[in-house]
Amino acid sequence: MGNSASQNDYTHDVFLSYNRAQKDWTRKLAQRLIKEGFKVWLDERELTPNQKWVSELAQGVEKSKKTALVISPEYLNAEWTMFEAHVAIWKDPSGRKDSVLLILHTFCNTPPELALRQMVDFSDTHGEPMRFEFKLAQLMAYLDPSRECPKDFDLFCQSKKDLSDYDMPDRGSLPAGSVMPYSPNQYFVGREDELKWLYNLWC
């Protein structure tokens, strides 16, 4: 790997390493981080078919301040993802630079070379939008220490309710050319938190 990049040489804040089984989830995570101002290295954004992927992946890790491994059983059983993990470990074998982060997507037993690394556990966030926001805030604080790291989930939920930018706007008119044969169902209620989460995710 050679000498690690200096602070000024980094082109990305975080390199996201994942298995294709978590591709959609990781893509959404990347979109949220980008929306929050982070520079994210994601293979589908950085690699093109005519590139030498092995060298480009290694270079991506080298040029990123942090490498986040989206851990799952599929990740640990795939050669390609473990190659990326070992490249990241070679960059910081002792862990002193704290450059390797585990993002636990699905509960599994991590191998010894990864077990002592910093971890943010997202395994309990699936289907739980507010808990995802809580863990995302913790992840962002790890990537950027100037951000506040929430510790208490209940206090975090209360703070989110107080934020106006988390409120979902009123339903607008359909774009030109859209066809919607059914009128809104006034009896379809609930799922407010999920709808707010989707709005905050995509808008």
- For the stretch 110-138, pLDDT in tens is 988 898 899 999 999 999 999 999 999 99
The fraction of the chain above a pLDDT of 90, given in percent, is 58
Task: State the Cα–Cα distance between residues 89 and 85, nearest whole angstrom.
Answer: 6
Please tell me the distance from the alpha carbon of residue 140 to that of residue 113, in angstroms, as a whole number.
24
Token reading at 12: 């990305």
Say which residues have a Cβ less than 8 Å from residue 144's Cβ, sequence separation at least 6.
13, 38
Q: Which of 13-17, 117-121, 162-166 has the lowest mean pLDDT?
A: 162-166
What's the mean pLDDT when you consider all of the chain? 86
Q: What domains does the chain contain, in order, with CATH numbers?
A: 11-155 (3.40.50.10140)
pTM above 0.85, yes or no: no
C-alpha torsion angle, residues 22, 20, 27, 52 (rounded to 10)? 150
